[in-house]
A and B are shown apart, each in its own frame.
Chain A
Amino acid sequence: MMVWLILLPLLWASLAFMLGPSRGVWPAIAGLVAQLWLAFALAAEIVGSGAAMHAVGGWGAPLGIDLVADGLSAAMLLLTQCIALPLAVYAHAYFKRDDPARNYFWPLVGFLLAGLNALFLSADLFNIYVTLELLGLAAVGLVAAGGGAQQIAAALRYLFATLVGSGAYLLGVALIYGTYGTVSTVTLVSLIGADAPDLVWIAGGLMVLGLMLKTALFPFHFWLPPAHGGAPAPVSALLSAVVVKASFYLILRLWVGPFSSLTVVASLVVWFPALLGTLAVFWGSYQAIRAERLKMLIAYSTVAQLGYLFLIFPLLASAGALQAGIMQVFAHGLAKAAMFAAAGTLIKATGQEMVAGLAGVAERLPVTLFAFGLAGITLMGLPPSAGFLAKWQLIELALSQQQWVIAFVVLVGGLLAAVYVFSVLRQAFLLAPADSVVTPVSRTLEWTAFVLAAASVLLGLRGVELMQLVGVT
C-alpha cells in the first residue's frame, strides 16, 4: 500500500510525459483517485492497528529502505491526496489548449506528488534529502512552466533558495552520520541524548534552518511571493497548500523525534521558531493587506499562515500541540488551495489581476466568490471551520501553559487575516462598473474550488477522527 503511494504518481507521470499533454490528464486523474483511496485505507489501517512499516524489496535497514507510516505521516498523505485530486480536475479545466504550462504540468505534478508521498513515508535522513530534492526540482519546474520572463526569474529565485535549504540540510545529515554512523530516524532518537556533542547541535541547527528556508518562514520568505504569486493558479495552489508544509512536517518530525532531547535541554531554543513565526504572522499579514495584486495578497497570506505553525514549538510539551499544528496544516492547506483556485477563476473571468478590479464579481461569479469567502473564514479562524478549531486548540494550549503572548498573536493574526480577506470581499460586493466584462468560465473551475473550501469548513464540524489519527505513534 505504502509503496504504491510512491509508485503510482511516478507511473502516471511517466505515462503522461509519453502520451503528451492532451491525453496525460486521464492517467493522472485515475492515478489520483487510486492514491486517495490508498491514503484513506492506510489511515484506516493505522487507526486500527498502529503505525505500519514496509521494507522496500524485502531489504530492511540499514542496507535497504524502510517506509514507515504513523499517524502524522498518514495524515499528511491524506491531506496531500485530498488536495491534489480536486486541483487536478481544476487544472484540466484551467489550462487552455495552447497554454505552454500545460505541456509539462502533468508529469511534473506526478513527480512532485511522488516526492511528497515518499517524504512523508521516509524514515531515514538521507532518503528524506533525496525526496526533498525531487520535490524541490519538480516544484521549480512547475513555477517555470508558464515560460514568461517573470515566472522564470521567480523559478530561479526559488531554485536557489531550495538548493541552499537542502544543501544545509544535507550538511547536517553528513555531520550526524559522521557522529553516529546512522541516518535512521528511529535509531537516532535513542542515540542523541542530552549530552550530545556540539557537532550534533550544529547539525541540528543547519537542518532546521535549511528546512525553514524551504518552508519560507520569515525572514526566509523572500522567494515565496514571486514564485507562488506568479505561477499558474493550479500550481500556486498546490505549492502553497502542500509543498511548503512538507518541510514544516520535517522540522516537526525532527523536533519531536531525533532532536527531542536537545530541545528539552535548551529550553530557550523552542522560542526561536515561535519568534520567527510571530514575526511571520505580522509581516505576512501586513504585506497581504498592502498587496494590490490578488495573487500576491494570497501568497503573502501564506507567509502569515505558515507563521502560526511555528507557534506550536514552545507548546510541544503537551500532546495537544502536535494536533493543533496538524489541524492548522489541514485548515490552511485546504483553504489556500481553494483560495488560489478561486483567485485563478476570478482572474480568468475578469481579466483583472488587481484586487481593485474585482468589483461586481459577487453577482457574476457567486460560486467562486463563495469559495473564496469560505476559504477566508478558515484563514481568519472563524467558526465553523478547521481554522477555528486550530485556533481554539492553540489558544487553549497557550493559556494552559501561561504563554499569553502566543494566544495574543493567534488572536491578532486572525483579525489581520480578516482585514485582507475582507479587502477582497468588500471589492467583490461592490456593484459592477457598467463597462466591466466577465467572460464565462467552466463550472468545473468554480465547483472544484468550492469543494476544497467547503472541506476546510466542514472539517471544523468534525475533527475527532483526524485528531485520533494524529495521535497514533
Chain B
Amino acid sequence: MTAGLLFASVGVILFALGVAGVLLLEHLLRRILAFNIMGSGTFLVLVGLAQRNGIADPVPQAMVLTGIVVAVAATALALALARRLYVLTGKLELSQDDEA
C-alpha cells in the first residue's frame, strides 16, 4: 500500500466517522466538530489519491484550500446559529418535538 492510498483510506474512515457523528450525536458542538472531521477526511482522500508517481498534483491542493475556506465558513455559521439557539432556549441540542 502506497502512502497515498493509506492517506486516502484513513480519509474514508474519518469521513464515515464524521458522518456518523453529524447524524447520531446530540450535542451541537460535537456535531459541528464531527462535520469538521468529515471534511478533513474528504480532504485527505483528495490529496492522497492524487499523488501519482510520487509527484504531488497541484490541482487537488488548490481544491483542498478552497474546501477548507468553505468548511471554515460553514463552521462559523453553525457556531453562530448554535450560540443563538443557546441564548434563546438555554439548550445546545435540537429537540425532537420541534420537527412538526
A/B touching: CB–CB < 8 A: yes
Task: Give me the interface of A with B, judged by CB distance under 8 Å.
Answer: 62, 126, 129-130, 133, 137, 140-141, 144, 147-150, 152-157, 159-160, 163-164, 167-168, 170-171, 173-175, 177-179, 181, 222, 225-226, 296
With contacts A156-B94, A222-B99 taken as known, whether A171 is within 8 angstroms of B45 at the C-beta atoms is: yes
With contacts A133-B70, A160-B35, A174-B46 taken as known, whether A155 is within 8 angstroms of B98 at the C-beta atoms is: no
Query: B77 touching A160 by the CB < 8 A rule?
Result: no
| In the complex, chain B residues whose CB is within 8 Å of the CB of A133 | 70, 73-74
Query: A160 touching B74 by the CB < 8 A rule?
Result: no
User: How many angstroms from the CA of A148 to the CA of B88 in the assembled complex?
Assistant: 8
Interface: B3 (CB within 8 A): no
Query: A155 touching B81 by the CB < 8 A rule?
Result: yes
Which residue on chain B has the smallest CB distance to residue A133? Answer: B70
Contacting residue for A175 out of B45, B70, B88, CB 8 A: B45
Query: B15 touching A296 by the CB < 8 A rule?
Result: no
Query: A130 touching B42 by the CB < 8 A rule?
Result: no
Query: A171 touching B15 by the CB < 8 A rule?
Result: yes
Interface: B49 (CB within 8 A): yes
Query: A156 touching B82 by the CB < 8 A rule?
Result: yes
Query: B77 touching A153 by the CB < 8 A rule?
Result: no
With contacts A152-B85, A157-B94, A164-B23 taken as known, whether A177 is within 8 angstroms of B77 at the C-beta atoms is: no
| In the complex, chain A residues whose CB is within 8 Å of the CB of B60 | 174, 177
| In the complex, chain A residues whose CB is within 8 Å of the CB of B78 | 156, 159-160, 163
Distance in Å: Cβ of A244 to nearest Cβ of chain B: 18
Distance in Å: Cβ of A310 to nearest Cβ of chain B: 23
Interface flags, B19-48, vs A, CB<8A=1, else 0: 100110000100100010011011001101
Q: Ordered nearest first, which 6 A-B pairs have the shortest CB separation? A: A178-B49, A174-B46, A149-B88, A174-B45, A133-B70, A152-B85
The B interface, classified by DSSP as helix, strand, loop or mixed, is helix
Query: A178 touching B35 by the CB < 8 A rule?
Result: no
Query: B84 touching A160 by the CB < 8 A rule?
Result: no
User: How many angstroms from the CA of A170 to the CA of B84 in the assembled complex?
Assistant: 29
| In the complex, chain B residues whose CB is within 8 Å of the CB of A140 | 77, 81
Query: A177 touching B85 by the CB < 8 A rule?
Result: no
Query: B22 touching A153 by the CB < 8 A rule?
Result: no
Q: Can you sample 26 A-B contacts with CB below 8 Å?
A: A130-B66, A133-B74, A140-B77, A148-B88, A152-B84, A153-B85, A156-B85, A156-B94, A160-B22, A160-B23, A160-B78, A164-B22, A164-B35, A167-B15, A167-B19, A167-B39, A170-B67, A174-B45, A174-B49, A175-B45, A177-B60, A177-B63, A179-B49, A181-B50, A225-B100, A296-B100
Query: B81 touching A144 by the CB < 8 A rule?
Result: yes
| In the complex, chain A residues whose CB is within 8 Å of the CB of B57 | 181
User: How many angstroms from the CA of A296 to the CA of B98 in the assembled complex?
Assistant: 13
With contacts A62-B59, A130-B66, A156-B81 taken as known, whether A174 is within 8 angstroms of B42 at the C-beta atoms is: yes
| In the complex, chain A residues whose CB is within 8 Å of the CB of B22 | 160, 163-164
Which residue on chain A has the smallest CB distance to residue B89? Answer: A149
Which residue on chain A has the smallest CB distance to residue B70? Answer: A133
With contacts A141-B77, A226-B99 taken as known, whether A178 is within 8 angstroms of B94 at the C-beta atoms is: no
Distance in Å: Cβ of B17 to nearest Cβ of chain A: 12
| In the complex, chain A residues whose CB is within 8 Å of the CB of B67 | 129, 170
- Among A149, A157, A174, A175, max chain B CB count under 10 A is at A174
Contacting residue for A152 out of B8, B52, B88, CB 8 A: B88
